[in-house]
Amino acid sequence: MTGPVPTLFDWAGGQPALERLTEVFYLKVRHDPLLAPVFAHMDERHPHYVALFLAEVLGGPAGYSSERGGHAHMLSRHLNRNLTEPQRRRWIDLLADAADEAGLPADPEFRSAFTAYVEWGTRLAVLNSQPGQQPALDLPMPKWGWGVPGGPYRPG
C-alpha cells in the first residue's frame, strides 16, 4: 500500500456509512425485547449522535465533542443505568448485524478493529452504569485505529 493509511472512519465510508449503521441499528433496538426498554425514551436524534461519536472515535471529525461535549457527555449518559451483561451482548450482536445490513466493510482487518472498539466501549458502559460508579470524566475522547487500543480505563 502506498500513501497514508486511512482512518477507520474513512475505511468505513465516512459519516454517511455511520449514519446508515446507527439508523439500522436503532430500528433493531426499538423492536428488541431486551434493549427496547433501555432506549424507550430515546431522543429521535440519538442515532445521529451515536454516529457522530463513532466517527470521532474512529478517526473522523470531532463533531460529537463540538455538538455534545465529548467523552464526558457520553459517560454521563450511562450513569446509574444499571446495564447488564446480557444487554451488552445483545447490543454487540445487533450492531454486528446492522454493520452487515448497512454495508460497512466486511474485511477482517476493519471488522476486527471495529469489534475491538465495540467490546471495549460496551464493557466501559456496563461498568460505568452500575449504581454509585463515578467514572473519571476528564479522560480524552477515545481514538481507535488499526489494532491500537483507544485509551486507558481508570476506575471511578
**CATH classification at residue 46:** 1.10.490.10
Do the domain assignments include residue 134? no
pLDDT score of 84: 96
Q: How confident is the model at residue 47 (pLDDT cuts 50, 70, 90)?
A: very high
Domain around 14: 9-129
Kindly state the cell numbers that stand for 148: 491500537
Domain count, the chain: 1
Do the domain assignments include residue 154? no
Do the domain assignments include residue 147? no
pLDDT at 147 over 90: no
Q: How confident is the model at residue 80 (pLDDT cuts 50, 70, 90)?
A: confident
Nearest to 114 by CA among 54, 156, 38: 54
pLDDT score of 1: 52
Q: How confident is the model at residue 2 (pLDDT cuts 50, 70, 90)?
A: low
Do the domain assignments include residue 135? no
| Contact (Cβ atoms closer than 8 angstroms) between residue 22 and residue 47 | yes
pTM recorded for the entire structure = 0.88
Q: How confident is the model at residue 150 (pLDDT cuts 50, 70, 90)?
A: low
Q: Taking all residues of the chain, what is their mean pLDDT, rounded to a whole number?
A: 89
Do the domain assignments include residue 58? yes
pLDDT score of 12: 97
Q: Which of 3-7, 136-140, 146-150 has the lowest mean pLDDT?
A: 146-150
**How many residues would you count in the chain?**
156
| Contact (Cβ atoms closer than 8 angstroms) between residue 109 and residue 28 | no
